[in-house]
Chains A and B, each alone.
Chain A
Amino acid sequence: SQTIHQWPATLVQPVGSPLSLECTVEGTSNPNLYWYRQAAGRGLQLLFYSVGIGQISSEVPQNLSASRPQDRQFILSSKKLLLSDSGFYLCAWSVPRFPAGNTIYFGEGSWLTVV
């Protein structure tokens, strides 16, 4: 069966510090990978998605970047965090095949507080 791991679960970072959140998926090949952000009391906002190694699409202009160095690894980064980067970050994957490909499977999330 497929599993998704995301870490760290929580972190508190000072403004201006770098960020690295990592996500790996097991039990599937060539998944679509996603990073979502959920601000307090709000819905999910898609930040990045990837359909293959080295292929990253950004949905919104922001202070963050994403990379996919391996087929089942997705990394969210920032060189200098802003207060507005605080939130709940969710990694997710889907099978690149309709209609099953439209179902997204989420990790447990990472709480980021920028102070």
Chain B
Amino acid sequence: SQQGEEDPQALSIQEGENATMNCSYKTSINNLQWYRQNSGRGLVHLILIRSNEREKHSGRLRVTLDTSKKSSSLLITASRAADTASYFCATPRRGGSQGNLIFGKGTKLSVKP
């Protein structure tokens, strides 16, 4: 079964508002990552949170991980038009090599100026 299901599928907000995206997964993990993809471009790694961490910050990004609920959230504070992109969570593939990840289908974020 697929890991890393994000919701919502699409999110539209005004500049300055906060954006929250959620990710659920089904099996135990040792870490979870969030990536960003601008339209038609490659993915860019944003943040990695380990299973023994509950929260992690990077600039305007805040990621939480709840291993009991098998869920993670990505919060972008004070959003900007430049934050418009798709955001994916990714988890390690069980039994896979290092770096072998399963990606969700992503949340498409639109930030209106």
Contacts and interface: CB of A to CB of B under 8 A. Distances in A.
A24 B90 CA distance: 23
Interface stretch (B13-21, B44-52, B59-67, B74-82): B44-52
Interface residues of A, number: 32
Interface string B79-95: 00000000010101100
Given A43-B103, A43-B104, A43-B106, A101 B98 contact: yes
Interface of B: 4, 30-31, 33, 40-45, 48, 50, 88, 90, 92-93, 96-106
Interface of A: 6, 32, 34, 36, 41-44, 46, 49, 51, 57, 88, 90, 92-99, 101-109, 111
20 contacts: A32-B97, A32-B100, A43-B103, A43-B104, A43-B105, A46-B100, A46-B102, A51-B97, A57-B97, A88-B40, A92-B99, A95-B98, A96-B97, A96-B99, A103-B33, A103-B45, A105-B45, A106-B42, A109-B41, A109-B42
